[in-house]
Amino acid sequence: MIEVDRVTDKPPVTPNLSTQVAERDVARPDVPREAVFALEGVQVCYGDVPAVAGVSFELYKNQITAFIGPSGCGKSTLIRCLNRMNDLIPSASIRGKVLYHGVDLYADGVDPVQVRKRIGMVFQKPNPFPKSIYDNVAFGPRVLGMKDDMDDIVERSLRKAALWDEVKDRLKTNAFGMSGGQQQRLCIARALAIEPDVILMDEPASALDPISTSAIEDLMLELVGQYSIVIVTHNMQQAARVSDRTAFFNVDLDGGRRVGRLVEYAETEKIFTNPDDERTKEYVTGKFG
């Protein structure tokens, strides 16, 4: 479990990216690679307009994979394909294959409800339900009809999200009374309660202050031992601090249309210190975006 106090000891912004990456790699040596997701030629359109196209890569188990890139590069669109969240947008359509442990998530007969049970999601803005802290965490297990003792599930999930000590005396109070950072950790606890395999995080810290951001990042590093994590972020330091591998997306002008494309995908250290592509280098050194 994470000590909450530790959060404040850590400087929120690190000036030197490369040392940061190196430190973390020492702290957590590479684990054997097993692909959780394999994408093959994925293209997502809204109506007739492609948002992101031609994406093929593998995301690995027990790693944090970061999607970075300028606005409109399709990184959020892509992460929402990984648990079929784009199904909720009537105009969205997808081509190509999204294999999850070898199973195509978009094959006939795949139930999106089952998909989302295995692949949890945390959103950009904390979105707790207007219910008590307890009921927020218990929501997922209840709708899925999980049989374990609910008090246990709630405590376990809140402990994993490093929130238990802060809220254990007010579990029955409304979640809207929490700070933004606490709400986001509650949303993480809520996602953990249904015991997923993967956690998708779509800019989870973009609405938070630096201290809360740091708490979320510590939490991710804690959780990655048990889960595979995919994070979309437009904060490059964040990608450098937490991720094992980084995918850089960019906006291409394709016959007058702006389409997101995967430019480079490699170990985070390589992306930030020695990228192959000139555009990656310009982006991570802050020349554009």
Partner 1 sequence: MATPSSSVSDVLGVARKRRGEQAIKGLLFLAALVSVLTTTGIVFSLLEETIGFFGEVGLGSFLTGREWSPLFADPEFGVLPLVTGTLLISAIALAVAIPIGLGAAVYLAEYATPRVRKAVKPVLELLAGVPTIVFGYFALLFFTPEVLKPLFGEPLAGFNALSAGVIMGFMVVPTIASISEDAMSAVPGSLREGAFGLGGTKLQVSTRVVFPAALSGIVAAIVLGASRAIGETMIVLIAAGQQPNLTADPRESVETMTTFIAATAKGDVPVGSIGYETIFAVGTLLFLLTLLMNAISIRFVRRFRQVYE
**What order of strands is seen across the sheet that includes strand 119-122?**
103-104, 92-100, 35-46, 49-60, 257-267, 245-254, 64-68, 228-232, 198-202, 119-122
Helix, strand and coil in the chain, % to nearest 5: 35, 25, 35
Question: How far apart, in whole angstroms, are the C-alpha atoms of residue 272 and residue 283?
Answer: 10
Angle subtended at Cα 154 by Cα 151 and Cα 155, rounded to the nearest 5 degrees? 85
Residue 83 lies near partner 1 (rule: CB under 8 A) = yes
Amino acid (1-letter code) at residue 236: M
- Segment contacting partner 1 by CB under 8 A, of 42-50, 112-120, 248-256, 278-286: 112-120
Q: Please, are residues 268 and 244 in contact by the beta-carbon 8 Å criterion?
A: yes
Pairing of strands 103-104, 92-100: antiparallel
Choosing from 75, 156, 185, 190, the residue that interacts with partner 1 (CB under 8 A) is 190
* Residue with smaller CB distance to partner 1, 57 or 129: 129
Three-state SS at 99: strand
Q: State both tokens at 65.
A: 């994979």
Residue 130 lies near partner 1 (rule: CB under 8 A) = yes
- Where does residue 122 rank: exposed (0-12), middle (13-18), buried (19+ CB within 10 A)? buried
Residue 81 lies near partner 1 (rule: CB under 8 A) = no
Tell the smallest beta-carbon distance from residue 90 to partner 1 (Å): 7
- The distance in angstroms from the start CA to the end CA of the chain is 36
Choosing from 17, 59, 121, 171, the residue that interacts with partner 1 (CB under 8 A) is 121
Residue 187 lies near partner 1 (rule: CB under 8 A) = yes
Residue 90 lies near partner 1 (rule: CB under 8 A) = yes
Q: Please, are residues 40 and 99 in contact by the beta-carbon 8 Å criterion?
A: yes
Q: What is the DSSP code (8-state) at residue 36? A: E
Choosing from 110, 144, 150, 221, the residue that interacts with partner 1 (CB under 8 A) is 144
Tell the smallest beta-carbon distance from residue 116 to partner 1 (Å): 5
Residue 127 lies near partner 1 (rule: CB under 8 A) = yes
207: nearest Cα among 126, 121, 122, 120: 126
Choosing from 18, 19, 114, 179, the residue that interacts with partner 1 (CB under 8 A) is 114
Site for partner 1 in 194-233 (CB under 8 A): 194
Residues that contact partner 1, how many (by CB under 8 A): 27
Q: What is the DSSP code (8-state) at residue 40? A: E
- Segment contacting partner 1 by CB under 8 A, of 120-128, 218-226, 251-259, 266-274: 120-128
Choosing from 50, 74, 140, 204, the residue that interacts with partner 1 (CB under 8 A) is 140
- Segment contacting partner 1 by CB under 8 A, of 37-45, 109-117, 156-164, 263-271: 109-117
Tell the smallest beta-carbon distance from residue 168 to partner 1 (Å): 22
Tell the smallest beta-carbon distance from residue 195 to partner 1 (Å): 11
Residue 59 lies near partner 1 (rule: CB under 8 A) = no
Tell the smallest beta-carbon distance from residue 227 to partner 1 (Å): 15
